[in-house]
């Protein structure tokens, strides 16, 4: 919980102004690229990359597979900014630090956010390597980034979460997937604190609760984005089947291997979505 909201706001301002000095225009779209999902940016020409270490107060990930760069570019004169790597609650960061970067992006002016993550598949119709557009989430992290004094410059005390993941964006992602012949699942993401993977009994409980995929990120950022009035698209990469679904153990290496395997598919989907956002095709 925020102990000194005014200091937090000051730190946000310092971080946002350091970034805005480096970029040429205000980004409209933000992307948060999860474990191993940020590589596609390397293929684009004209990227301007800023290391998190150059941005005051910006939290840095301690996890293998998470780079730490803000990448700025534009498509068809629509400026966007991507986070290559994020921090997680389980790393020991305060929940308000977990959402610090998304609030910096909000300060820079983004109105739309695309969030990606690696997740375990609970829905038995899913397979490792599938992509899932997030229809909604269940917050089981036992915390909330908005706890404490409300940050009035960002949004209201009690933000609406009834369309946390924009219906328009979900339709847009499905249209792009169809066009590019990408098989796209849709489902509910449940966010847990981690870092231990779930037990089979927990996975059975989560299935009963209506979850299709489980992960340890995204929920805090999406809450902070909704608070700030930012429309969200969420894409999960199903990197493994959740505990107990298959007769095998879970490990982070499998998560990384699957993200590498689906890199082209998720890159194509994200590229298609950015193209459509740039031409205003989503509304």
Residue 197 in contact with ligand HPA, rule: CB under 6 A: yes
Select which of 175, 252, 254, 268 is catalytic.
252
90 catalytic per annotation: yes
202 binds ligand HPA (CB under 6 A): no
Q: Which of 90, 161, 163, 268 is catalytic?
A: 90
Mark 80-105 as b/e (b = at least 16 C-beta within 10 Å): bbbbbbbbbbbbebbbbbbbbbbbbb
28 vs 8: CA distance, rounded Å:
24
Q: Does 240 bind ligand HPA (CB under 6 A)?
A: yes
Question: Does residue 118 belong to the site contacting ligand HPA (CB under 6 A)?
Answer: yes
Name the catalytic one among 67, 83, 106, 118.
118
Q: What angle do CA 118, 100, 259 make, to 5 degrees?
A: 15
Q: How far apart are CA 144 and CA 17, in angstroms?
A: 26
What CA–CA distance (Å, rounded) separates 204 from 56? 43
Applying CB under 6 A, which of residues 74, 185, 218, 239 lies at the interface with ligand HPA? 239
- Check residue 216 for interaction with ligand HPA (CB under 6 A): yes
The sign one gets for the Cα dihedral 190, 194, 199, 200 is: positive
Please report the sign of the dihedral spanned by the C-alpha atoms of residue 159, residue 164, residue 167, residue 169.
positive
Catalytic residue among 240, 243, 278, 282: 240
Among 40-48, 69-77, 139-147, 209-217, which window interacts with ligand HPA (CB under 6 A)?
A: 209-217
184 neighbors 269 (Cβ within 8 angstroms): yes
Asked about 93 being catalytic, the answer comes back as no
Give the range of 1-9, 118-126, 178-186, 275-283 binding ligand HPA by CB under 6 A: 118-126
Among 32, 242, 274, 277, binds ligand HPA (CB under 6 A): 242
Could you tell me the smallest distance in angstroms from the CB atom of residue 147 to ligand HPA? 23
Burial class (CB in 10 A: 0-12, 13-18, 19+), 262: buried
What's the longest Cα–Cα distance across the chain?
Answer: 52
Nearer to ligand HPA, 71 or 262 (CB): 262
d(CA 277, CA 283): 9
Confirm whether 73 is a catalytic residue.
no
Q: How many CB atoms lie within 10 A of CB 128?
A: 18
From the list 8-16, 150-158, 176-184, 235-243, the region that binds ligand HPA by CB under 6 A is: 235-243
The yes-or-no answer on residue 137 being catalytic is no
Question: Total number of residues binding ligand HPA (CB under 6 A)?
Answer: 13
Residue 74 vs 240, nearer CB to ligand HPA: 240
Contacts to ligand HPA by CB under 6 A: 118-120, 197-198, 214-216, 239-240, 242, 250, 255
């Amino acid at each position: 919980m925020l102990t000194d909201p005014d200091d937090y706001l000051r730190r946000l301002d310092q971080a946002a102004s350091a970034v805005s000095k480096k970029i040429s225009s205000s980004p409209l779209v933000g992307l948060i690229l999860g474990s191993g999902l940020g590589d596609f940016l390397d293929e684009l020409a004209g990227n301007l990359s800023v290391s998190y270490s150059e941005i005051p107060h910006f939290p840095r990930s301690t996890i293998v597979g998470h780079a730490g760069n803000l990448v700025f570019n534009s498509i068809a004169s629509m400026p966007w900014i991507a986070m290559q790597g994020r921090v997680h609650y389980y790393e020991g960061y305060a929940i308000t630090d977990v959402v610090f970067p998304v609030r910096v992006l909000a300060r820079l002016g983004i109105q739309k956010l695309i969030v990606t993550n690696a997740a375990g598949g609970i829905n038995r119709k899913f397979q490792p390597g599938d992509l899932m557009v997030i229809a909604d989430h269940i917050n089981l992290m036992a915390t909330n980034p908005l706890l404490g004094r409300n940050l009035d410059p960002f949004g209201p005390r009690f933000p609406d979460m009834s369309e946390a993941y924009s219906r328009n964006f979900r339709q847009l992602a499905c249209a792009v997937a169809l066009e590019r012949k990408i098989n796209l699942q849709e489902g509910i993401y449940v966010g847990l604190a981690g870092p231990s993977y779930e037990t089979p009994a927990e996975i059975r409980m989560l299935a009963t609760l209506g979850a299709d995929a489980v992960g340890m990120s995204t929920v805090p950022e999406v809450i902070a984005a909704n608070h700030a009035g930012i429309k969200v698209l969420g894409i999960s990469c199903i990197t493994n089947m959740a505990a107990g679904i298959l007769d095998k153990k879970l490990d982070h290496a499998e998560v990384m291997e699957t993200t590498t395997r689906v890199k082209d598919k998720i890159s194509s989907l994200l590229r298609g979505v950015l193209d459509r956002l740039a031409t205003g095709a989503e509304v």
